[in-house]
């Protein structure tokens, strides 16, 4: 085991110059970079998403955006191409910015800008905004301009949303109001066009129909009665030659009175004697009444010609009544026909009117909802104008940093040194892996299949040793002195190392 360790140590020492070349080269380069890289400054601002000043239970805000979502929107708006170009050029963020393309400016601004968000349930929503630059004042100015744009854009966006919402509902109220007027006009026009067949008057028209039908039935009965009366008058005249007038009625009454007196006489004789004064008085009244009846019969015979004229007068009166009733009957029939036509139109009109009124009610409900939303939008717009809604406030503004934040020079130097050592060892391992030459007796046995009696190593002359060591020292000096000098010259006279690194990283990123 000791022999194996000694063998590998001998191999390492034999390849030591390769290790030193790689190790010293990378170490010198890393130390030089750590010394030459310019300092970078970082300035940071802290923002807070503040909840609405007016509780949502009292008045819901018009603009309702989750705090985390609002910060994401703000971040995307902030890192737009136009904003970054404007800020970079106004603050003159980069050296020789006039020679840089817009794409390069935007890329470097985004790489130097760092945004962190903290959000969660029952936690305050925070945003940390920082910018890295070689100039400390530029760093603070850029962050403050970022903050100014965030506050301005947030206020404008929320106010614009609230105003747009208000204008939208104003338009909706106006549109629905006009629609209500149009629908009301259509309903009024429909009612005017069908005023005689509206469902509201259906019960009245049904009652009127019943009344007209009753009147028509009454007229029919009256007509029938008059017809019967006319036939009766003619029939009486043809049988008796008299007309059933007031005179005929008087004769009948006198005869009836005579009959009553005769009945009274019979009753009196049943009680009293014929010589009783009461009986005598009734007999005298009967005699007088018989004379009256006899005289009326004679008068009737003399007036036979007058009966014919009276018949014509009675028939003319009855015919006039019949014509009047028939005229009324025709009018009632026409009224009933017209009323029936309106009743038949009523169901269709009811359906159409219900449809119009239903549309009107739906539009009215939409109008009422739009008016309520308009009122809420108006209050919401007022809240946003007065900055009483959800807003972003600055907790810690950006200040000019007094100490550089980077680069970490110790890390660069130590990391470069360790990387150089690992790369040097790796180079030695790689060289030995591909080297098939014989270095020890075991290799002779392995490759040639013979056992050597003794081995004699290669012995260099003193002159060879001098030249070998001098060349090695020259290479080491060139690395230690020349490489830092070359890096320094490139950094100061050609292009700064940080700019070279950025361009190299951009090209690598574009290829990837």
pLDDT tens-digit readout, 273-317 = 777 777 777 777 778 777 776 665 555 545 555 556 777 777 887
- pLDDT of residue 403 exceeding 50: yes
Task: Taking residues 371-395, report their average pLDDT.
Answer: 76
Of 321, 353, 372, the position where a domain reaches its end is 372
> Is residue 510 pLDDT above 50, yes or no?
no
Contact (CB, 8 A) for 47 and 394: yes
At residue 147, what are phi and psi to the nearest 5 degrees? Answer: -60, -40
State both tokens at 86: 């404007």
Condensed to tens digits (0 to 9), the pLDDT of residues 338-364 reads: 989 988 988 998 999 999 999 999 999
Confidence band for 181, pLDDT divided at 50, 70 and 90: very high
Q: Supply 132's token pair.
A: 């890295």
pLDDT band at 245 (very low <50, low <70, confident <90, very high): very low
Does the pLDDT value for residue 85 go beyond 90?
yes
User: Is residue 247 pLDDT above 50, yes or no?
Assistant: no
Identify the band that residue 250 occupies on the pLDDT scale cut at 50, 70 and 90.
Answer: very low
Question: What integer pLDDT is reported at residue 249 of this predicted model?
Answer: 42
Q: Are residues 416 and 364 in the same domain?
A: no
Q: Say yes or no: 341 and 287 in one domain.
A: yes
Domain boundary among 351, 372, 393: 372
Co-location of 487 and 423 in the same domain: yes
Distant-in-sequence, close-in-space partners of 483: CB < 8 Å, separation ≥ 6: 25, 28, 29, 32
Q: Is the pLDDT confidence value at 205 over 80?
A: yes
Q: Is 67 exposed, middle or buried (0-12, 13-18, 19+ CB in 10 A)?
A: buried
Task: Write out pLDDT tens, residues 154-171.
Answer: 888 878 888 888 888 899
Mean pLDDT over each residue of the chain, to the nearest integer: 79
pLDDT at 511: 38
In this structure, the answer to whether residues 288 and 423 fall within a common structural domain is: no
Q: What is the mean pLDDT of residues 352-378?
A: 90
Q: How far apart are CA 52 and CA 10, in angstroms?
A: 77
Q: Is the pLDDT of residue 187 over 80?
A: yes
505 occurs within a structural domain:
yes
CA distances from 173 to 98, 184, 193, 359 (A): 54, 16, 30, 16
At residue 44 the predicted structure's pLDDT band, cuts being 50, 70 and 90, is very high
- Domain edge (last residue) among 323, 349, 372: 372
The CATH number of the domain holding residue 337 is 1.10.287
Cα 441 to Cα 91: distance, rounded to the nearest angstrom: 73
449 and 331 together in one domain:
no
Same domain, 215 and 314: yes
Residues 418 and 357 in one domain: no
Backbone angles phi, psi at 159, to 5 degrees: -65, -40
Instruction: Give the DSSP letter of residue 51.
Output: P
pLDDT at 64: 61
DSSP 37: S
Residue 131 lies inside a defined structural domain of this protein: no
- To 5 degrees, how large is the angle CA 400–CA 402–CA 407? 105
Q: Are 198 and 191 a contacting pair, CB within 8 Å? A: yes
Give the residue, 132 or 51, on which the prediction is more confident. 132
Query: What mean pLDDT do residues 91-120 have?
Result: 87
How much of the chain exceeds pLDDT 90, in percent?
18
**Residue 387, in any domain of the structure:** no
Same domain, 213 and 355: yes
Predicted local confidence at residue 505, as pLDDT:
52
pLDDT at 362: 94
Q: Which stretch, 209-213, 268-272, 457-461, has highest mean pLDDT?
A: 209-213
Q: Within this chain, do residues 217 and 363 fall inside the same structural domain, yes or no? A: yes
Does residue 343 sit within a domain?
yes
Residue-range definition of the domain harbouring residue 363: 199-372
426 and 365 part of one domain: no
How many Cβ atoms from other residues are within 10 Å of residue 285's Cβ?
Answer: 16
263 pLDDT exceeds 80? no
- Whether the pLDDT of residue 268 is over 80: the answer is no
Query: Would you say residue 414 lies in a domain?
Result: yes
The answer as to whether 234 is a domain residue is: yes
Residue 159 lies in a domain: no
Domain assignment of residue 132, yes or no: no
Is the model more confident about 494 or about 46?
46
pLDDT at 113: 92
**Which spans in 64-120 are helix H?**
67-78, 81-91, 102-112
Cα maximum dimension of the chain: 216
Same domain for 477 and 432: yes
Q: What CA–CA distance (Å, rounded) separates 22 from 51?
A: 60
Task: Say if residue 336 is in the same domain as residue 427.
Answer: no
> How many structural domains is the chain composed of?
2
Is residue 39 predicted with pLDDT exceeding 70?
A: yes
Residues of the chain with pLDDT > 70: what percent?
Answer: 76
């Amino acid at each position: 085991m000791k022999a194996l360790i000694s063998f590998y140590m001998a191999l390492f020492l034999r390849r030591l110059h390769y290790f030193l070349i790689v190790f010293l080269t990378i170490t010198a380069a890393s130390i030089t970079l750590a010394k030459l890289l310019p300092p970078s400054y970082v300035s940071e601002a802290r923002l807070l998403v503040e909840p609405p000043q007016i509780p949502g239970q009292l008045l819901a805000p018009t603009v309702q955006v989750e705090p985390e979502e609002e910060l994401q929107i703000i971040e995307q708006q902030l890192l737009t191409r136009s904003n970054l170009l404007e800020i970079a050029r106004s603050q003159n963020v980069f050296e020789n910015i006039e020679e840089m393309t817009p794409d390069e400016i935007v890329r470097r601004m985004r790489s130097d800008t760092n945004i962190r968000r903290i959000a969660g349930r029952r936690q305050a929503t925070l945003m940390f905004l920082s910018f890295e630059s070689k100039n400390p004042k530029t760093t603070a100015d850029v962050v403050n301009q970022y903050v100014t744009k965030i506050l301005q854009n947030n206020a404008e966006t929320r106010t614009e949303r609230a105003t747009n919402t208000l204008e939208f509902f104003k338009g909706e109220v106006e549109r629905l109001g006009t629609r209500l007027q149009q629908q009301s006009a259509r309903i009024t026009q429909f009612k005017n066009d069908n005023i005689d067949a509206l469902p509201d008057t259906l019960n009245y028209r049904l009652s009127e129909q019943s009344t007209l039908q009753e009147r028509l039935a009454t007229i029919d009965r009256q007509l029938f009665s008059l017809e019967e009366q006319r036939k009766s008058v003619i029939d009486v005249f043809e049988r008796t030659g008299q007309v059933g007038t007031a005179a005929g009625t008087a004769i009948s009454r006198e005869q009836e009175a005579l009959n009553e007196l005769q009945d009274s006489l019979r009753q009196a004789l049943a009680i009293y004697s014929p010589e009783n004064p009461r009986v005598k008085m009734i007999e005298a009244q009967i005699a007088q009444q018989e004379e009256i009846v006899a005289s009326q019969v004679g008068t009737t015979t003399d007036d036979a010609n007058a009966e014919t004229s009276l018949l014509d007068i009675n028939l003319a009166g009855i015919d006039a009544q019949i014509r009047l009733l028939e005229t009324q009957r025709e009018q009632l029939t026409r009224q009933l026909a017209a009323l029936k036509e309106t009743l038949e139109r009523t169901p269709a009109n009811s359906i159409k009117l219900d449809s119009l009124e239903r549309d009107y009610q739906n539009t009215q409900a939409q109008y009422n909802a739009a008016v309520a939303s308009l009122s809420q939008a108006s209050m919401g717009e007022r809240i946003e104008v007065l900055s009483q809604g959800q807003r972003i406030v600055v907790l810690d503004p950006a200040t000019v940093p007094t100490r550089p934040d980077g680069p970490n020079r110790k890390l660069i130097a130590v990391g470069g040194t360790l990387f150089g050592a690992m790369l040097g060892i790796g180079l030695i391992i790689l060289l030995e892996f591909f080297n098939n030459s014989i270095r020890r007796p075991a290799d002779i046995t392995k490759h040639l299949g013979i056992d050597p009696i003794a081995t004699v190593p290669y012995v260099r002359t003193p002159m060879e040793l001098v030249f070998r060591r001098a060349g090695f020292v020259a290479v080491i000096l060139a690395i230690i002195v020349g490489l830092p000098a070359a890096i320094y010259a490139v950094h100061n006279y050609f292009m700064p190392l940080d700019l070279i690194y950025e361009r190299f990283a951009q090209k690598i990123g574009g290829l990837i």
